[in-house]
Structure 1
Amino acid sequence: MAARSIVRIMTRIDKSLARAFKVIVCEIEKEAKAAIKASPETVKSFCMATGTAQFKVVWIDNREGEPVPRDKDISPGEFAKYGHVNPHADNVAKLLDEYNGMLCITGWPMLIKTDLVSGELTTLNDW
C-alpha cells in the first residue's frame, strides 16, 4: 500500500513539474522575442541550449580608435554591463536565475532569430 501511495505522489509531482517547465519555456520565449523586437538593430537573436542562454547583439568595438560593429554573445543579465538597456532581457535573466537550477531550463534547445524572407521572428528547437 505504501509503495502505491508514493508512486501516486511522485506521478502527481512529475506532472506538475512538466506543466511548470512548459510555462517557463513559453515565458522565456515570449520575453526573448520581446527583447529582440524592442531593439532590432542591436539584438539579433537568442539561443538557449546545453546549459547556457545568450543573446547575439551588435557591439561597437572601439579598441582600434574607430567604431567597428561586431557580433557578441551576451548573457541575458549582462546587458547593462555592455551599455544596453533591455527590460525583457532582464526578465529572461530573472526567470533563469529563479528556475533554471530546479528545472534545468537551459538544457532545452531554443533558437529565436529573424527569418530573412518574411522578417518574422522564428523559434527553432531542433537545428
Structure 2
Amino acid sequence: MVAFAEEERFSRRKHHKDSRSCPVAAAYCLSEAGITLADVDEIAIAFNPAWPTPSVICTDAELIAELLDPALFGHHRPRQVTVVEHHLAHATSAFPPAASTRPPSWWSTAPATASPLPSPTAPPTD
C-alpha cells in the first residue's frame, strides 16, 4: 500500500458529513504514489447510486464529476466507475494491511454478476 487518507482529515468534518465524495483524499493518494487519475485503470465506489436497482457500473457524468472533482485531477474524468457493495468495500480495504500473502477466498475484482470463485487452494507452507 502506498497511501491511505480519510477525506475527513482534509475537510475537518467527522465522517466527511453530508458528502459522499472523497476527491481531496484521492488526489493526495495519487500524488503520494506519483501517478495521475489518467494512470488508474478502475475506480470503485462503495455505494449504488441506482439503488434499489442492482448496478455494477455507474456512467452518470454529473455524479462522477461530484465524486472526483475534475479540477483536482487535471480535468480528467473517467467515463465510468465500478459499484462495489458497501460492506464488501469495508472488508476488502482491510486486506492490504493484514498479515497475509494471499487474498481471502471472498476477495475478487469480478463483477457482482460473475459466478462465485472456486475454492481457494491451501496456503503456502513456507
Query: Same fold per TM (> 0.5)?
Result: no
Greater helix fraction, Structure 1 or Structure 2 = 1
Q: TM-score, normalised by structure 1?
A: 0.24
Relative to the length of structure 2, the TM-score reads 0.25
More strand by share: 1
